[in-house]
Structure formats: C-alpha cells, structure tokens
Structure 1
Amino acid sequence: MNNTPQLHRYLPSDEIDLFELFGAIWKQKKLVIGCTILAGLLGVGYAYLATPVYQVSSVLRPAAINELDALNRSEVYKLPPAEALSKVGAQLDSYEARLGFFRANPALFEAFEQPGRSLEQSFEAFNNNAIRLVLPDPKKPDVLNASIRLEMQYPNGIDGVAILNGFVAYAIAQQRDQVGADLKVIVNNRLNELKGKIDAARANYETGKTSQIARLLEADKVKRAQLQDELTALRMQMRAQRTSRMAELAEAISIAQSIGIKHPTTPSAMGADALRGANQVMRTEVTNQKIPLYFMGTEALEAERAALARRTNDDFTNSRIAEIGKELRMLDVNRQVEVLESRKNEDIFLQDVEPLWAEEARLRGLNIDMSALKLVTVDRQAQEPLSPIKPRKALIIALGLVAGLMLGVLVALIRHFVQVRRESGPFSVFDEHRLPRQ
C-alpha cells in the first residue's frame, strides 16, 4: 500500500500559496480593518491636535535705475541696482542685523523666549529654525532671476507677517544708513584730500612769495652796494682829477709868470705884438693843436686854482653822481615787495587750485536725501497665509491609514503562520523515519 499522499499531507512545503494567504487575511479582515481605523484615528488626532506651522515669504528685486540716479551721479559712490540688491541680501543674512531686530522688537518675539534661556539663546532658536534666505542661482545671471526671497516658518500664535515685513524694512533701513555713512566718510575723505592739496598749493605759494621777496631784496642790496661802490669810485676819481688840475694849474702859473703872461692870450697874438702899426688888423687863428694852459695868464690860472682849493664837494661836476643818487633813492623802497606784502586775499593768486575749489564746493553742496533712497524694490510683501504648511492633514491621515492597513496585514499574517506552525508542530522532516514504510 502507497503512503505517499499521507507524507505530503504532513510535510511542510517551500511554496507559498498567495490565495491561501489572501484567504487567511480575509478571514481576519476585522483585525485588519481595526488596525487601519485605529492608525487612521491616531493620524487624525495628530493632524488636528498638532500645532499648526505657517510660512510667509517676501521677494525683493533690484530697484529702478532712476531710484539710484542721484547717488550714482554724485560721482562719489557708485551703486548699481544689482549691487544694491546684493548688499541688502547680505544685510538680511547678517547675524548682527537679525539680532539687532530681535532686540529692537521684543514684543514680536515673546513666544520665542523661554525660561532659563538667555536672549541670545532664544534668538539662536529663531535664527536657525524659523528664517531662511533664498538667493538667486549664480548659474543663471539673467535679469528675471535677479531676486531675493526671504522665508519664515512660525507656529500659531506668532505674528509672522509683522516679523518678516518688519525685518525686511529694518534690514533695508540699516543698509541705507550704512550707505549714507559710507557716502559721508567718502565725502569727508575727498574733502580732506582736497584741503590737503589746497594747503599744499598755499604753502607752495607762501614759499614762492617769500623766496621772490628775498630775491628782490637781495637784488636791491646788490644794486645798492654796486651804486655805492661806483659813487665812491667816482668821488675818488674826481678828487684825484681836482688835485691833478691844481698841480697842472700851478705849473702853468709858474710858466706864465716866467714869460710875463698875465692875461689870456694866444701864440699868434704874442708874435704880433712886435708888428704894431697904424692900421688895425683883425686876425683869425686856425690851429689843430691844443694851446698850452699858461697862455690863459696868471690871473685866470690863479683864480681857477683858488676856486679848486676852496671846493669841498666835487659831486656837481659829474652828472653820473646825480643819476646814482636817483637810483639809490629808488632803491629805498621796492614797490614790488611792498605790493607782495600788502596782498589781502592771497588765495586768488594760488596756481592750479580752481578745479580743487570747484570740486570742494560741489562736494559740500551734495544734498542726497538718504531717507528717500530706494535700494531695492519689495516685489511682494509677506501676506497672512490662508492655511498652515504643517501639519498636512490629508497626507498624515492617508499615511496613518496606510500604516494601519500594513500593520493589520502584518499582524494577520503573523497569526496565520503561528496557527499553521501549531497545526504542523508534531511533524517535521526529521521525523520522516517515524512514518509507516511501504
């Protein structure tokens, strides 16, 4: 007799019958449905009891060119719209700016403050978890992509719209103040530089004027010394000439006395004294030789010598003495030096400073209204959200139902295999020798 059918009845098979499993699960459908409903209820409870989390965002774009035209036309501070947007983005991402806004608005952040935490610790919780800055993609440097988005997630009970819009306005105001401070520093530096150049030109002018006065006075001194030397030399020359003339006259007087010439005469007149006749004759003497001085006669010669001996000053005998006196008198006052020293407004005589004055006046006249400076355009302000982003109720409930279903199926399968194990427990492949043989 063949006992093979009985063997297959008691030996376990390695093949899984899906229909048998489905039937086993179907038999325990109440358990599966119960697990599904229980997990779904847990999901519903979490979805409706969890604290809602909302999200708001604000978008910033570059300002129009005309908004920054006054600043850029100042030729002092260049700020293209894209760079202004980048600076505001850096301010929004700045830890110091966020902490400053956090400290300046404690009423908006009461929910973030917890007992036992310092102000900085409470701010860290807000800064790390709540706010996020989304910068433009550097791989897409197109105009449409030039925007900055600031996002904030916050639980129910916090005025996230006021926080985000307030922080954006605060960051823009801080960057505007920073631009104003930078502009003021640059203008002051330029003014100091211009002042240094003007002072250098003024010092150069003063040095040049002093040098010019010194040169003029030195030239006058040299000229005066030369004239004095010339005057002394002329007086010595005239004194020597007078002494020589007196000696010459003394010699002529002795000759005239020896030949008996008392009155002025000529050589021809002396020769004609022997030919005196009745007829009166007029003679004209033409000679190219100088008549000796003794022919002047002793009377004239002695009179001239006496006059020369009585003379105390020979200046009147030479016209150059008067000219020297005139020149010395003119050297007493140098009118050019007098004019240089009497200048009232010496700045008008400075060289190459007109452009510096013009630039200084332009910089001092800069009147850029920083309060009206628009660095960026707020393309979209934060608005009150219509619904929270967390928890996502439908998704949580669906996941709960799926998880409950999977848990129910798993429990049903475990119960099925445990039951099959119990039913086939006494028999195993190791007990095959116990089965009846053929």
Structure 2
Amino acid sequence: MRDQPQQPTYNDDEIDLVELLQSLFRQKYLILAVACLITLGAAAYAFLATPHYKVQSVLRPVDRGSLDELNGTGVYELTPGEALSRAGAGLSSYENRLAFFRDNQALFGGLVTPGRSLEQAFEEFNRAAFTMLQVDPKKPNSLSEFVGISLTYPRGVEGVAVVNDLVTYVLEAERERIASDLKVLIANRLFSLEQKVEAARASYEASKEAQIAALLEADALQRAQLKDELQALRGELKTRRENRIKSLDEAIQIAESLGIEKPTTPSAMADAQRQGQVVRTEVNSREIPLYFMGSEALKAEREALSARRSDDFSEPRIAEIETELELLGNNRQVEILEKRQNEDLYLKDLAEWRQEAAQLKGIKFDTSGLKLVRLDQPALAPLAPIKPKKALVIGLGGVAGLMLGVFVALLRNLMRPRQAEES
C-alpha cells in the first residue's frame, strides 16, 4: 500500500507578513486620519504655545588706563579683573535683580498675578530665566576673561530691555558703591590723621609738662641749696660776731687791768716805761694783741656788735645768693613754654599730615563717568524663538501620528479573527 502525501499544516498563531501588509494597506485611510489628527494637534501646539526667546549680554575687562584716575587718588585701588569680577557678582546678585524687578515691573509683562506676591513671582522667574556666563575654569587657555548674563523669557516680557537695563543698573550700582567706599576710605584716613594729630598734641603736652616740671624741680633744688648756703653763711657770721664779742670782752678786761684806755702799741708802752712808768707785757705773736686798742675802742666795738641786727652786709656772697634766689623766682623758660599760643607749630610731622589731609579733602572724583567694564556684546532682539520649534514639533507630531495610526490598524487586524471565531 502506497503512502499518501502529507498535506502541510498551518498554525493560526503565525503572522503572515503579506497579509499583514495588505491589511495595513486596506486601512490606509485610518492610518492617515490618525496621523493627520496627531499632526494637527502638534501644529496647534506649535502655533498656539507661548514662544520663548533667549538673549544675552557679555562684558569684558577694560584697559588699565580707564581706571588710572581712580587708582591715582592713592586711596582706592581697582584692577580691570577686579572690576569685571565685581560686575559679575552684581549681575548674579539676587538682591540686585529683585531691586531691578521692583523698579521696572513694566518690562516683565505682568508676571505678578493674583494670589502671588511680587517676591514669589520674581523667585520663580529668576530661577528659570537667568543664567550667568563666565569662563570655564577647566579651560585656562581662554583668550580673554569675560562675564555675561543670558535671559530666557516668554513673549510679553521685554527681554532685550531687561538684560541691557539690568547691566546698566548693576554697573551704576557698582559705581555708587565705589563712590561710597571712596568716601568712607577718605573719611577713615582723615579720622586717622586727626587721631595722629591729637596723639601728637597729647604727647607734646605731656613732654612740655614734663619739661616744665623738670625745670621747676631744678629751680627748686637750686633754690633749696642756695637757702641752705645762705643759712649756713648767716650762722657762720653770727658765730663769728659772737666770738668777736667774747674776744672783745676778754680784751676789755685785760685793757682795764693794764689801764689801757686809748689805743696804743707795744713800742709806745716801752717808751713810757723808760720814762718811769713800769709796764710789763709780753708779746708772743707778731699780731698786736686786741687789748692794745684800749678799753674805750673795745667797748664801742662790742656795743656796735651787740646792737647789730644782721651780718649780711659783711659777706658779699650773701648778696650774690639773694640775687640768684630772686632770679629763680621767675623761670623765663617756663614762662615762654606756658605762654606758647600756636603749639601745633612744634609738633613733629604736622606739616606732612596737614598736607596729606588737604590732598584727601581735595579729592573730588566723579564716579558717574567711570568705565568699569567693556560691553562686548549687548542684548539684541532675537530673530526667532528658541521654543517651541514649529517644524520639529510638527515633524515629530507627524511621525508620532503615523506610528499611532499603524498601531491602531494592527490592533484592529488582531481583533478581527477573534470576532470571527466568536460569531
């Protein structure tokens, strides 16, 4: 018995690509309808969505000559790099941006809506809109330093004016800050000079008082020494006078005992002896004894010495001491020091300090014309929005629509066998 040829069997779960393509072709209008619908939706979004634009401004350092006048004051020093850094810090400052927003709300197209405060509206806008531009630290070979700011903004916001006016606002604020710092530095330097002058005056006063005290002390010491000398001399003269009186008393007694009333000499007494008068005397020294002056003269001298109230006239040194004491009563050097009127003339370095103070007071620097940075690129009106990109959105919408249409067609094709089996 011959074997019958075996018939090929087909699995219903296998996909026939030809039949599938034919099915998709039969549903081409459905696919096109879905694609057109999605494309129209994408086109509606592309043309109806709020467009967003982007502008930017770039600043670069100025040449050194632009800051020479400021640095020439000798009080404030600013390099082009520091000026650029300060401008960048001002642009990135939230405080500066918020202050600019408060002063120029008309430029921002009504960002403040009911239910939100001005600060809340600006916070949301600032976080999404502003971006700082600066040299990449990973690229040290950059041709030039720069700082900048870019703004991404929706239609209704005057982005070009916002960026340019913000740059102007920040630079003007930096100029005002420099002017304020300059005034503070000048005031501090002037105050420091005043303190130096006051310290010099105090030092001079202390030095003058010390000099006067030293002079008066020297005068007091000399006066005390002269008074001691005067007292010693007077005591010595008094002792001499008292000793003289004692000597006179003794001589008077001798003269009376010898009967000598009138002044005489030993030779005269010898002549009288030869004439019959017996007078015995012995002279042991070359000086004539005092009693030879006679009792009358001796008594007269004793009475005069006893009646004397002062012995100053007998010693010339006493007159000299009294003259010196009188001169010490008025120290002319002390009087001159005390009568000085303009004592500042005697202060060391005062002329130099006054010259420096005059130079500081003469600084009249106008910062309104100070060029801190060079505006390399101002913000210009953009030619087209950065989003939405209409061609890209419509193209992606068309592709997505075709894919969705094919997916719907495939889904319908898969659903038909099941519906046939159920029927």
Following superposition, the deviation at residue 382 of structure 1 comes to 0.9
CA deviations on 1:313-344 (whole Å, 9 max, x unpaired) are: 32111111111111111111111111111111
Following superposition, the deviation at residue 307 of structure 1 comes to 4.0
Counterpart in the other structure of 1:429: none
- 1:235-314 superposed matches below 5 A: 235-259=234-258, 266-267=265-266, 271=270, 289-298=286-295, 300-314=297-311
Counterpart in the other structure of 1:71: 70
Counterpart in the other structure of 1:12: 12
Alignment pair present for 1:225 and 2:224: yes
- Counterpart contact for 1:54–1:156, Cα < 8 Å: yes
Change (3 A) 1:55 1:46: same
- Counterpart contact for 2:88–2:148, Cα < 8 Å: no
Secondary structure in structure 1 of the residue aligned to 2:7: helix
Counterpart in the other structure of 2:146: 147
Alignment pair present for 1:380 and 2:377: yes
Counterpart in the other structure of 2:338: 341
Following superposition, the deviation at residue 54 of structure 1 comes to 1.6
- Counterpart contact for 2:109–2:156, Cα < 8 Å: no
- Counterpart contact for 1:132–1:152, Cα < 8 Å: yes
Q: Distance in 2 between matches of 1:353 and 1:24?
A: 108
Counterpart in the other structure of 2:386: 389
Aligned-residue RMSD, C-alpha: 3.1
Following superposition, the deviation at residue 273 of structure 1 comes to 6.8
CA deviations on 1:47-95 (whole Å, 9 max, x unpaired) are: 2232222211111222322233333344444433223222222222222
Change (3 A) 1:333 1:130: same
Counterpart in the other structure of 1:430: none
CA deviations on 1:338-371 (whole Å, 9 max, x unpaired) are: 1111111222323455554454444333333222
Q: Distance in 2 between matches of 1:106 and 1:158?
A: 10
Of 404, 414, 417, the residue aligned with 2:414 is 417
CA deviations on 1:381-401 (whole Å, 9 max, x unpaired) are: 111112221221121121122
Aligned amino acid, residue 374 of structure 2: T
Q: Distance in 1 between matches of 2:197 and 2:18?
A: 103
Q: Distance in 2 between matches of 1:143 and 1:369?
A: 34
User: Which stretch of the first structure deviates more once superposed, 323-332 or 176-185?
Assistant: 176-185
Counterpart in the other structure of 1:193: 192
Change (3 A) 1:334 1:3: farther
Q: Distance in 1 between matches of 2:263 and 2:388?
A: 152
Of 355, 360, 363, the residue aligned with 2:360 is 363
- Counterpart contact for 1:180–1:370, Cα < 8 Å: yes
Aligned amino acid, residue 7 of structure 1: T
Alignment pair present for 1:108 and 2:107: yes
CA deviations on 1:250-271 (whole Å, 9 max, x unpaired) are: 3334434544556655545655
Change (3 A) 1:28 1:3: farther
Following superposition, the deviation at residue 3 of structure 1 comes to 7.5
CA deviations on 1:378-424 (whole Å, 9 max, x unpaired) are: 2111111122212211211211221122222223333333345567x
Secondary structure in structure 1 of the residue aligned to 2:341: coil
Q: Distance in 2 between matches of 1:179 and 1:137?
A: 28
Alignment pair present for 1:184 and 2:179: no
Counterpart in the other structure of 2:50: 51
Change (3 A) 1:295 1:139: farther
Percent identity between matched residues is: 50
- Counterpart contact for 1:61–1:379, Cα < 8 Å: yes
Aligned amino acid, residue 117 of structure 2: S
- Counterpart contact for 1:231–1:324, Cα < 8 Å: yes
Q: Distance in 1 between matches of 2:129 and 2:80?
A: 29
4+ aligned runs moved over 6 Å, structure 1: 272-276
Counterpart in the other structure of 1:208: 207
Counterpart in the other structure of 2:61: 62
Q: Distance in 1 between matches of 2:63 and 2:142?
A: 12
Counterpart in the other structure of 1:164: 163
Q: Distance in 2 between matches of 1:7 and 1:163?
A: 77
Aligned amino acid, residue 391 of structure 1: P
- Counterpart contact for 2:39–2:394, Cα < 8 Å: yes
Q: Distance in 1 between matches of 2:354 and 2:5?
A: 124
- 1:70-89 superposed matches below 5 A: 70-89=69-88
Counterpart in the other structure of 2:137: 138
Aligned amino acid, residue 111 of structure 1: G
Change (3 A) 1:264 1:195: same
Q: Distance in 2 between matches of 1:19 and 1:356?
A: 105
- Counterpart contact for 2:109–2:158, Cα < 8 Å: no
Change (3 A) 1:413 1:339: same
Counterpart in the other structure of 1:398: 395
Counterpart in the other structure of 2:116: 117
Q: Distance in 1 between matches of 2:206 and 2:17?
A: 112
Q: Which consecutive unaligned segments of at least 5 residues does structure 2 have?
A: 276-283
Counterpart in the other structure of 2:279: none
Q: Distance in 2 between matches of 1:146 and 1:64?
A: 12
Q: Distance in 2 between matches of 1:256 and 1:332?
A: 51
Q: Which consecutive unaligned segments of at least 5 residues does structure 1 have?
A: 277-286, 427-438
